[in-house]
Amino acid sequence: MATWIWVTIIAAISQSLRTAQQKNLKQSLGVLGASYVRFSYAIPFAWAWIAFYSFFYDQPLPSINLEYIFWITIAGIMQIIFTVLLITLFSHRSFAAGIAFSKTEVLMAAIFEAMILGYFVSFEVGFAILLGVLAVFLLTLSKSEISLSNLLSALWTRQTALGLGSGAFLGFCTVAFRAATDSLEGSDLLMKASMTGGVAVLIQSVIMGLWLWFKARVELINSFKAWRRAYLVGFFGAVTTACWFYAFSANAVAPVRALGQIELLIALGISFFFFKERPSKKEIFAVSLLTISIMIVLLRA
């Protein structure tokens, strides 16, 4: 099995654990504070890994160019917006359903990747992506009858807007991160991916930190006071970022993100066992469709 598959699965697991911890922190830190710890606490872990890998494997740090700065800054800002929208979404839907809404980014990523990088997925992978997106939309009807009128009504709700918005911003930022990583010189994908992750969290921490200082200073200060609970968010965030960026560099973004929808299955387990949120039969059916979508991508990998 290709390396990018295992790395993507690790990224999905780590991302689920990070997001679950952020959901826990939201009540005490607020939406913005719980979003900020995802970036600020990832800095020491990300750069410790870069230093370790560079020293023990004799890999020099890639030189940074203007194209890299452009793409990573755009991607970083888009990821901040995505994170805030996702954490906000947890106030309206369960953990699993919130994660599911954000997974519309798979389709967004395929579109942006074709537009920006000129990569088009195969027919089979395209079908799998559409099947996965259909499964996500079915989750919008988890508490009502499945019908066209109910679907159209659900698409105009606040939680759907938050979910689709988070998916769009995440879809664009993943393609932008791929463009940033590709602009770095060198052939070592792991070093390039790690470097992109390290620089990204630095930029994001500065930009969001300055914004919070003027707009939500209390949440910013509380995010540092809660370090005993927040450091795990940073650790899992650093692991997640490095794994995603490696997978994006080793393979096209859309198939990686399609396989990454396995995160929803993990999230469903966390939602049930940890947050005690019981899924409905419709949610289970939607997740089953999503599982088929993931299997198609795996078979085509």
CB-CB neighbours of 101 under 10 Å? 27
State how far the alpha carbon of 229 is from the alpha carbons of 12, 43, 58, 218, 234, in Å: 21, 16, 34, 17, 10
SS3 262: helix
Residue 8 has pLDDT above 60, yes or no: yes
Q: Specify the higher pLDDT residue, 112 or 37.
A: 37
| Residue 232 and residue 45 in contact, taking contact as beta carbons nearer than 8 Å | no
Least trusted range by pLDDT, from 134-138, 218-222, 237-241:
134-138
How many CA atoms lie less than 13 Å away from 90 in the CB half-sphere?
26
The dihedral built from the CA positions of residue 120, 201, 15 and 88, taken in this order, carries a sign that is negative
This prediction has a pTM of 0.76
pLDDT tier at 65, thresholds 50, 70, 90: very high
Q: How high is the pLDDT of residue 256? A: 82
- Measured CA to CA, the distance from residue 87 to residue 20 in angstroms comes to 10
Residue 270 has pLDDT above 80, yes or no: no
Q: What is the mean pLDDT of residues 181-197?
A: 90
Q: What is the DSSP letter of 279?
A: P
Residue 246 has pLDDT above 70, yes or no: yes
| Residue 176 and residue 75 in contact, taking contact as beta carbons nearer than 8 Å | yes
How many CA atoms lie less than 13 Å away from 62 in the CB half-sphere?
24
Q: What is the pLDDT of residues 15-33, one digit of tens each?
A: 888 888 888 898 889 889 9
- Helix ranges (H only) for the chain are 3-40, 43-56, 66-89, 95-102, 105-116, 123-139, 148-154, 158-183, 189-215, 217-225, 227-250, 253-259, 262-273, 281-300
SS3 261: coil
Residue 294 has pLDDT above 90, yes or no: no
Q: Specify the higher pLDDT residue, 142 or 215.
A: 215
Q: Specify the higher pLDDT residue, 12 or 98.
A: 12
Nearest to 194 by CA among 52, 9, 76, 58: 52
Q: How high is the pLDDT of residue 265? A: 74
pLDDT tier at 12, thresholds 50, 70, 90: confident
pLDDT tier at 90, thresholds 50, 70, 90: low
Estimate to the nearest angstrom the gap between the alpha carbon of 46 and the chain centroid. Answer: 16
Mean pLDDT estimate for the chain: 81
Q: What is the mean pLDDT of residues 281-295?
A: 74
Q: How high is the pLDDT of residue 4? A: 83
Q: What is the mean pLDDT of residues 75-79?
A: 92
Q: How high is the pLDDT of residue 191? A: 93
pLDDT tier at 98, thresholds 50, 70, 90: low
Pull the structure tokens for residue 113: 């990747």
| Greatest Cα-to-Cα distance within the chain, rounded to the nearest angstrom | 60
| Residue 291 and residue 268 in contact, taking contact as beta carbons nearer than 8 Å | no
